[in-house]
Amino acid sequence: MNWGRKIAQGAMAAALAAPMMAGLGTAASAETTLRVVMHSDLKIVDPIWTTAYMSRNYGYMVYDTLFAMDENTNIHPQMVDSYTVSDDKKTYTFTLRDGLAWHDGAPVTSEDCIASIKRWAKKDGMGQKLMEFVKEMKAVDAKTFQMVLNEPYGLVTTSLAKPSSNVPFMMPKRVADTSADEQITDYTGSGPFIFKADEWRPGDVAVFAKNTAYVPRKEPASWGSGGKVVNVDRVEWISIKDHQTAVNALIEGEVDYLESPPTDLLPLMEGAEGVTAKILNPLGNQFMFRLNHLHPPFDNVKIRRAALAAIDQIGFLQAVIGNPDYYKECPAMFVCGTSLATDKGAEIIMKSDIPLAKKLLAEAGYDGTPVVVMQSTDVDVLNNLGPVAADKLKRAGFNVDLQAMDWQTLVSRRSKKEKPADGGWNVFMTSWTAADILNPIMAAGFRANCGDAWFGWPCDAEMEKLRDRFARETNPDEQKLIAVDIQVRALEIATHANAGQWYGPSAWRSDRVSDVIGGPMPIFWNLSKK
Amino acid sequence: MFGFIVNRLIATIPVLGMVAIFVFLMLRLTPGDPAAVLAGDNGTPQQIAEIREALGLNEPIPVQLGIWFSNLLQGDFGQSYFFKKDVTELILLRVGPTVALATTTLIITIIVAIPLGIIAAYLHGTWIDRGVMAFSVAGFSIPVFVLGYILVYLFALEIKLFPVQGYKPLADGFWPFIHHLVLPSITLSVIYIALIARITRASVLEILNEDYIRTAYAKGLKPTKVLMKHALRNAAVPIVTVIGIGIALLIGGVVVTESVFNIPGLGRLTVDAVLGRDYPTIQAVIIVFSFVYVLINLLIDLSYSLLDPRIRY
Amino acid sequence: MTESTHNLVDSAASADASARKATLWQQLLRNPSVLIGASILALMVMMSLLAPVLGTMDPSEINPAWRNKHPGFEHLKTFADGSEAQWSYRLGTDTLGRDTYSRVIYGAQVSLAVGLIVAVLSIAIGLTIGLVSGYIRWLDAIVMRVMDGLMAIPGILLAIALVSLSSAGLGTVILAITIPEIPRVVRLVRAIVLSIREEPYVEAAISVGTSLPLILIRHVLPNTIAPLIVQGTYICASAILVEAILSFLGVGIPPEIPTWGNIMAEGRVLFRLFPHNILYPGIFLAITVLAVNMLGDGLRDTLDPRMRERI
């Protein structure tokens, strides 16, 4: 009887709704929800507080940026309408475009932007560098603000258009005034989507609704720049830990989009109807082979060079990616296909030269000090790197101690400066989104300011001088020449090695989802769903 | 009876206290740094140091324990390092799927295992009995995740009878709810069926040899009636005991099954929290699981007096 | 007087024991469960010990060029000594191009060792704690509260937390599987101790002034052997499974050392394309656990008929 009444109610509701729907016409067609499986869970909803890629992806949904990079790595204004640079190149004046509003309806003001830049610059390396040059930032009026520099700096708009972690996202002043060491709890942004905090079930699903008040730019969308036109009503990020389960769910149509299925699983999808897999991030990613400069044996530059001679890119790429369509041997540390790409000085990492490695080891008098190689076992795209590195190093005569751990343990342990025997390390490998390493200021691996450098702590005055010159240089051609020197120097002193470039495809239901565009981050504007 | 319950409840306090201290010390004395995890993939050493300070992880361990314990006594599990949400809230969000999975598993188990055990006992020594016993040993020997994958392969991918993964709350309708739970529940119940079928068979077998059963037969009662009325009722106590013991087994199975079938329950919350070094969440989840375990065993002790009138508290 | 009564009490117990021993072997050999279980297990042990001569190669040798090949794949392989020969990957390869056949055969060593060591360790520790706490009454209360607490934590969660929070290694994994098993052994031993404490011959021994350790060793220990052997086989079976589950969840033994669990864990992402990496170790694992369980059932039926009633 209860059931009967329910059905009757349903029928009534449908009967009442039908004429209303018809009246509204096509505009009121059923709500479209894009169901997405991202590479990991959304954990931290503060893209300034952490560098985690998922938090960056979240940022691109909810926030907007002053400037943005397009697919040719050119910089365009995004929230900024226009900007001027004074003749002495020391004063930048930015004017915000019309129609910018926070999700709560308040307009975006100069004060908001200044506070946001400040908070970002506390955390981000490139922001910290920028602040060394900034004398002051001041609001001229509600929509215009100025950045005054001590001396000319070549990377002002490049910094504000930084495409990957940490991205200088704009937040309301009340939010941006939160200490940079504290996570924000107010999710108000001005971006194309609104985060539905009340529907967020951590570890299960994160929900974004279309921001109907968002005014997109007129230009076509390209990476983070151009018009962010949203054509779906909701985007749900569903957490599926197991890649195979995620692929199955896509094939069965239970989800619409996978951010990064492993390339090994592509054959499954090739056979499936209505499923497309494509490389959306044209610059791809780069593996990094990182050495710890603090402890023997890698406190000796010859032995570091021996390690670089022992490894090659193809070994890593074959073992992890497998399918040559999705990887490329690339000598350029600033990523192949970009303006700073060069192959100078990279011979040593392009082929595994065991005799050379043995010779260098003999010259340096390597005494068999064990080399602790950390292997991360739970991130598929990193899992096989450790064993391959260990294998090559062994062949060259290193005494290798391969230690497996989960990624979280690895990131805890890599920050330890202790001796390898006391919980430290000698070698680890990781992967960078190309957009994070496009120049030597952005790319953390090149810092060589000893104890304050990125994990591995290279110490080299020459390198620091080159980096500083790069930052001050405003002429792109000169910048390029300095970048070449930096690459040569980096491999000479072996800060790290670029261990191969790879491209992760995304996959989606092409029978339902169209106009997907790519970038160094997943983009959910522009696309539409049937 | 009431006094007994109160006494038992009081007796759980030291047990849970033990659990709490044990878990706390385990987390603090093993390596692993939540700050490094929180700082993200490219976090710098400076960022990590700042976060560690902000989380209070630089305090001496006894001080940390004291703060946590006094909050705990006020029913406050603290905030998750990651989500900046109260752990209590996180747990409440995840209870539903786990309870649903455990309940359907228990139902399937009881519907299948007890009749199976009774039949095997009644037909003692026949090939049916041997079949049941063989199944119960085999069921114990297949790892849960292997079974899960095989079932997904057969029933979700090959004949597309059930969804591959996921969970739908009961609010979305009864059919989608059950539809998503069938495969995970079957996966999880196999090991449980094996256990309960065995114990049912053993208990019923033992009772079938008792004098009063022979008397019942001699009186001319039908075999089914003898089985149902006398044998099963008396076999109930050991069966229920084993169901209680099996709760621990079930909790372990839930962790694995939830990750195979992508069910957003407490099991996955635990694994994620452990891998992410989210100390407040790990502590809370383990305490909650322990409490459930203790509580269920208390309920089982109480149910003895219902099942067996000779037992009184 | 003490000396002679001692002997009297002892010989009464041991005569009984030796009489049982004589028929025990016959009983065991007559039990099909024991026979089948023990033979399969013996085969597995032999296989694991003879791994190097069973046509295997180095199970950790990686070869990215030959990754993800189906069973039966062959290619010309150069060996360490420089010789070349056609090599057949009987059970295919994994994502690093390692030989699955060799990994499965060598994996038996670790899986069996984990099972055995966990069983022996947890029984040794549990027996000690159980014997002592069963006899020293003031200690008993404390120990049992600790054991209650340990038992209340789901074993698998405890193991996951222990392994993933400390460094992953064979030792850690064994320890993490052992700790949750201990309380069960302690309870079993304590129950036996409590029941035996009241037996006339033990009371007799106490009355004639036999020292406590001697009573424990002479009278209590022998009575725990049979149930503990049975319990040990179950612990062994469960340890092999738990090791596999830990590996599956990514907190197990490092993949450098092949175990059935981590071969499956590494193969699970590609289960649909290359099921061999789950299937073969899975079959070996299931058969081994089955054999141990059968052995356990058989032992229980012959050694300890009373226990059959309890489980």
Nearest chain A residue to C61, by CA: A391
Per-residue tokens: C250: 């990514």
pLDDT on residue A498: 95
What DSSP element (H or E) covers A193?
strand A193-195
What DSSP element (H or E) covers A139?
strand A134-141
**What does the domain layout of chain B look like in residue ranges?**
15-73, 87-307
Compute the C-alpha angle B89/B94/B100, nearest 5°. 140
- Averaged pLDDT, A154-168: 91
Lowest mean pLDDT among B32-36, B153-157, B278-282, C278-282: B32-36
> Would you list the DSSP string of chain B?
-HHHHHHHHHHHHHHHHHHHHHHHHHHHHS---HHHHHH-TT--HHHHHHHHHHHTTTS-HHHHHHHHHHHHHTT---B-TTT-SBHHHHHHHHHHHHHHHHHHHHHHHHHHHHHHHHHHHHTTTSHHHHHHHHHHHHHHHS-HHHHHHHHIIIIIIIS--S-SS----GGG-HHHHHHHHHHHHHHHHHHHHHHHHHHHHHHHHHHHTSHHHHHHHHTT--HHHIIIIIIIHHHHHHHHHHHHHHHHHHHHHHHHHHHHHT--SHHHHHHHHHHHT-HHHHHHHHHHHHHHHHHHHHHHHHHHHHH-TT---
pLDDT on residue C200: 81
> Which residues have a Cβ under 8 Å from the Cβ of B239 and sit 6 or more positions away?
B114, B196, B199, B200, B203
* Dihedral angle, C-alpha A255, A257, A258, A264, nearest 10 °: 90
Spatial separation of the C-alpha atoms in residues B69 and B67, rounded to whole Å = 6
pLDDT on residue C306: 54
> Which residues have a Cβ under 8 Å from the Cβ of A347 and sit 6 or more positions away?
none
Write the residue in B206, B255, B256 that is nearest to C309 by C-beta: B206
B292 has pLDDT over 90: no
Size of interface A-B (CB pairs under 8 A): 126
Q: How confident is the model at residue B41 (pLDDT cuts 50, 70, 90)?
A: low
Q: Is A205 within 8 Å of chain B by CB?
A: yes
Place of tokens 């953390």: A444
Task: Give pLDDT tens digits for C158-213.
Answer: 887 777 667 667 888 898 899 889 988 998 888 888 777 777 877 788 788 777 77
Q: Is B98 within 8 Å of chain A by CB?
A: no
Write the residue in C161, C166, C286 that is nearest to B282 by C-beta: C161
Lowest mean pLDDT among A102-111, B186-195, C231-240, C253-262: C253-262
| pLDDT greater at residue B292 or residue A303 | A303
Q: Which of B 139-158 lie inside 8 A of A, CB atoms?
A: 152, 156-157
Mean pLDDT, chain C, as a whole number? Answer: 80
Nearest chain C residue to B248, by CA: C154
Min CA distance, B185 vs chain A (Å)? 17
Per the CB < 8 A criterion, the answer to whether B265 and B101 are in contact is yes
Phi, psi at A509, each rounded to 5°: -80, 100
Residues of A at the C interface, defined by Cβ within 8 angstroms: 242-244, 248, 262, 264-265, 267-268, 315, 318-319, 322, 375, 377-378, 380, 383-384, 387-388, 391, 402-406, 409
Could you tell me where in chain A the CATH 3.90.76.10 domains are found? 67-176
**Partner-chain contact B145 C160, CB within 8 Å:** no
Spatial separation of the C-alpha atoms in residues C167 and A408, rounded to whole Å = 12
pLDDT on residue B156: 81
B244 has pLDDT over 80: no
pLDDT on residue A21: 38
Per the CB < 8 A criterion, the answer to whether A334 and A437 are in contact is yes
pLDDT on residue B205: 80
**Parallel, antiparallel, or unpaired: how do β-strands A496-502 and A327-328 relate?**
antiparallel
Chain C residues with CB under 8 Å of A244 CB are 268-272
**Partner-chain contact A244 C272, CB within 8 Å:** yes
Per-residue tokens: B139: 């069921």
pLDDT on residue C10: 46
Spatial separation of the C-alpha atoms in residues C145 and A353, rounded to whole Å = 62
Q: Which of B 42-81 lie inside 8 A of A, CB atoms?
A: 42-48, 50-51, 53-54, 80
Task: Give pLDDT tens digits for C71-109.
Answer: 888 887 777 677 777 788 888 888 888 899 999 999 999
Task: Give pLDDT tens digits for A424-472.
Answer: 899 999 999 888 899 998 898 999 988 888 889 999 999 999 999 998 8
| pLDDT greater at residue C14 or residue B290 | B290
Chains in contact with C, counting 3 or more C-beta pairs less than 8 Å apart as contact: A, B
Per-residue tokens: B263: 């069910």
Q: Is B27 within 8 Å of chain A by CB?
A: no
Does domain A67-176 sit in CATH 3.90.76.10? Answer: yes
Per-residue tokens: C31: 């039990």
The percent of residues in chain C predicted with pLDDT above 90, rounded, is 15
Per-residue tokens: B239: 């069966």
pLDDT on residue C305: 57
pLDDT on residue A393: 94
Per-residue tokens: A516: 């997907």
- Averaged pLDDT, B215-233: 74
Chain B residues with CB under 8 Å of A409 CB are 31-32
Spatial separation of the C-alpha atoms in residues B140 and A449, rounded to whole Å = 58
Spatial separation of the C-alpha atoms in residues C103 and C85, rounded to whole Å = 20
Q: Which of A309, A48, A336, A17 is nearest to A166 (CA)?
A: A48
Mean pLDDT, chain A, as a whole number? Answer: 88
Could you tell me where in chain A the CATH 3.10.105.10 domains are found? 285-502
For the domain spanning B87-307, the CATH number is: 1.10.3720.10
Query: Within 10 Å of residue A461's Cβ, how many Cβ atoms?
Result: 10
Task: Give pLDDT tens digits for A327-382.
Answer: 999 999 999 988 899 999 999 999 999 999 999 999 999 999 999 999 887 777 88
Per the CB < 8 A criterion, the answer to whether A507 and A250 are in contact is yes
CATH topology of domain A285-502: Dipeptide-binding Protein; domain 3 (3.10.105)
Chains in contact with B, counting 3 or more C-beta pairs less than 8 Å apart as contact: A, C
Spatial separation of the C-alpha atoms in residues A513 and A495, rounded to whole Å = 43
Q: Name the pTM for this structure.
A: 0.80
| pLDDT greater at residue B161 or residue A144 | A144
Chain C residues with CB under 8 Å of B275 CB are 164, 250-251
At residue B128, what is the residue type? Answer: I
Lowest mean pLDDT among A41-55, C49-63, C81-95: C81-95
Min CA distance, B185 vs chain C (Å)? 18
Per-residue tokens: C15: 């005569």
> Hey, which residues does A431 pair with through a beta bridge?
A287
pLDDT on residue C7: 45
| pLDDT greater at residue B215 or residue A523 | A523
Spatial separation of the C-alpha atoms in residues C98 and A384, rounded to whole Å = 12
Min CA distance, A93 vs chain B (Å)? 31
pLDDT on residue A18: 39
| Correct CATH for C30-310 of 2.30.40.10, 3.40.50.720, 3.40.1410.10, 1.10.3720.10 | 1.10.3720.10
Per-residue tokens: C47: 């296989």
pLDDT on residue C20: 57
Task: Give pLDDT tens digits for A239-274.
Answer: 887 788 889 889 988 899 999 898 888 888 888 889
Q: How confident is the model at residue A11 (pLDDT cuts 50, 70, 90)?
A: very low
Spatial separation of the C-alpha atoms in residues A303 and A285, rounded to whole Å = 27
The string over C244-269, giving b where at least 16 C-beta atoms fall within 10 Å of a residue's C-beta and e elsewhere, is: bbbbbbbbbbbbebbbbbbbbbbbbb
Spatial separation of the C-alpha atoms in residues A226 and A219, rounded to whole Å = 5
* ipTM for the predicted complex: 0.78
**Partner-chain contact A245 B268, CB within 8 Å:** no
Min CA distance, B179 vs chain C (Å)? 23
pLDDT on residue B312: 59
pLDDT on residue A29: 52
At residue C193, what is the residue type? Answer: V
Spatial separation of the C-alpha atoms in residues A432 and C90, rounded to whole Å = 37
- Averaged pLDDT, B286-309: 79
A199 has pLDDT over 80: yes
Spatial separation of the C-alpha atoms in residues A386 and C37, rounded to whole Å = 40
Q: Which of B 215-244 lie inside 8 A of A, CB atoms?
A: none
Task: Please confirm whether the linkage preceding A297 is cis (ω < 30° from 0).
Answer: yes
**Partner-chain contact B144 C157, CB within 8 Å:** no
Per the CB < 8 A criterion, the answer to whether A170 and A63 are in contact is yes
User: Which DSSP state fits A94?
Assistant: E
